Structure 1
Amino acid sequence: MEPATVGDDPPATKRLPWAQRRDQLLAAAERVIIREGPQVSMDDIAAEAGVSKPIVYRHFGDKNGLAHAVGERFSVALMTELHAALGAHADPRERTHAAIEVILRRIDEAPQTYRFLTRGSAEGAPALGDALDAFMRLIGDDLADFMSSVNKDKSPERRILLLTWGHAMVGLVRSSADLWLDRRHVSREELVDQLTDLLWNGFRDADWTTD
């Protein structure tokens, strides 16, 4: 980590309240990541925001701190959309389809941000997948809680099953999204249908014969 040196905003930069400055820096980070890709530096982000680099370090600590903040914004927006999509459907299979579609659409609309969070960045930093992992786990918990709240069976056994289901959905979609972003082997709509079938039917219809 590069140490933050003493210094404030350049003279031409208006001093903003802490929360407002943090939001401005995150918005700048997202813009430069979208434009330049995941291999961005703190210098790039500071230049985009029109501030000195120590200001960026002061708000986020280091590159991992920034990644966690970007990941949180990404995940909060995703969870807001998930709640709306899940609440719009009563049929469990339709809810499954809607949840998968929301996750894949968010990744598809911000692929560079997703790659930044999962594959690392510049300045020799390690992969920053943990920045998204914690929030993806929250999404799995959130999905499980929602499905438990609308499920008629309120038994502990059902809650445990739905916890596994929620995290299985997130893991399956994330792993498939990584492959899909690189290969684009099917359309997004087709991938949503495939993953819905897998989650809903399991591997029941798979042909496991070896003859």
Structure 2
Amino acid sequence: MSPSTRADGRDTRWAEHRRARRAELVEATMKAIRRHGAGVGMDQIAAQAGTSKTVIYRHFTDRAGLYRAVVAAVDDLILRDLGSALATPGAGDDPRALVAAAVDSYLMLVERDPEVYRFVVTRPLLDTPVSDDPVAGMTSRIADQVTAVLAARLRREGRDDRAAGTWAHSLIGLVRAAADHWVAQPGREPREVLARQVTDLAWGGLAGALRPPDRPDVPEESR
């Protein structure tokens, strides 16, 4: 084995170790958030991780880097749940079921991890504005997944799919606004109730937008 090969092997193992350690620190951060609430501090996060703030910063550079890593983890969870919901048999053929699946998969994470969601949207670790918006990036990726499903449906019908992005991003913006309001309510109503309310509101607009031009009304089974 040549020296360069041995060096490459060490580099690979070190990179894998760093990825694993970053994942452990993100998980510890989320546990600290669940334990102490969305306003958790770096000292509490370090204590939960069993390490020092210096070690955390070594892996994430600063507080903003750790915050972005948590947002990315939450993003992955929502995309995973949304992908499963959209893959449910019939969801792609029933547009109202598609809307309901997208709405409920987002709200399920909020209900399951309300403090983590509050942490993401209130950004307690960010002392100053950042050049990018991690939350906007997260919701954009979620909307892109819904866009793909809506566009595929429109293409199957031989229709222009360019409006799919507008509809999907509007839908996810609506869900996020409703979720932000809902999670802040001390006596909030059940998730199922909110999901139905948001679905009804969104479907009221999408039903007309998705209606083929040669069909003057929407079939009863799609309402």
Q: Calculate the TM-score normalised by the size of structure 2.
A: 0.76
**Do residues 71 (structure 1) and 74 (structure 2) align?**
no
Amino acid at match of 1:196: T
Cα separation, 2, equivalents of 1:202 and 1:80:
26
Q: 1:154 and 1:37, CA in 2 relative to 1: closer, same or farther beyond 3 A?
A: farther
Report if aligned partners of 1:118, 1:130 keep a CA contact under 8 Å in 2: no
Report if aligned partners of 2:167, 2:206 keep a CA contact under 8 Å in 1: no
**Do residues 173 (structure 1) and 175 (structure 2) align?**
yes
Which of 125, 147, 164 matches 1:162?
164
Which of 181, 194, 197 matches 2:197?
194
Q: Calculate the TM-score normalised by the size of structure 1.
A: 0.80
Cα separation, 2, equivalents of 1:104 and 1:85:
12
Bigger radius of gyration among the two: 2
Q: 1:140 and 1:154, CA in 2 relative to 1: closer, same or farther beyond 3 A?
A: farther
For the residue of structure 2 that corresponds to 1:45, the secondary structure is helix
Cα separation, 2, equivalents of 1:78 and 1:185:
21
Report if aligned partners of 1:118, 1:131 keep a CA contact under 8 Å in 2: no
Q: 1:127 and 1:169, CA in 2 relative to 1: closer, same or farther beyond 3 A?
A: farther
- Structure 1 residue runs of 5 or longer lacking an equivalent are 1-15, 205-211
Amino acid at match of 1:190: V
**Do residues 114 (structure 1) and 114 (structure 2) align?**
no
For the residue of structure 2 that corresponds to 1:98, the secondary structure is helix
Which of 140, 156, 177 matches 2:143?
140
Q: 1:55 and 1:197, CA in 2 relative to 1: closer, same or farther beyond 3 A?
A: same
Cα separation, 1, equivalents of 2:183 and 2:122:
12
Cα separation, 1, equivalents of 2:171 and 2:81:
16
Matched residue count: 186
Q: 1:133 and 1:154, CA in 2 relative to 1: closer, same or farther beyond 3 A?
A: farther
Cα separation, 2, equivalents of 1:35 and 1:106:
17
Aligned to 2:40: 40
Cα separation, 2, equivalents of 1:126 and 1:173:
27
Aligned to 2:85: 85
Report if aligned partners of 2:67, 2:123 keep a CA contact under 8 Å in 1: no
Cα separation, 2, equivalents of 1:174 and 1:60:
27
Aligned to 2:7: none
Cα separation, 2, equivalents of 1:101 and 1:42:
32
Superposed CA offset, 1:59-106 (max 9, x none): 111111111111111111111111111111231101110110110011
- Structure 2 residue runs of 5 or longer lacking an equivalent are 1-15, 208-223
Amino acid at match of 1:194: Q
Amino acid at match of 2:180: D
Cα separation, 1, equivalents of 2:47 and 2:96:
47
Cα separation, 1, equivalents of 2:55 and 2:149:
39
Cα separation, 2, equivalents of 1:202 and 1:55:
50
Aligned to 2:21: 21
Cα separation, 2, equivalents of 1:178 and 1:163:
22
Q: 1:35 and 1:57, CA in 2 relative to 1: closer, same or farther beyond 3 A?
A: same
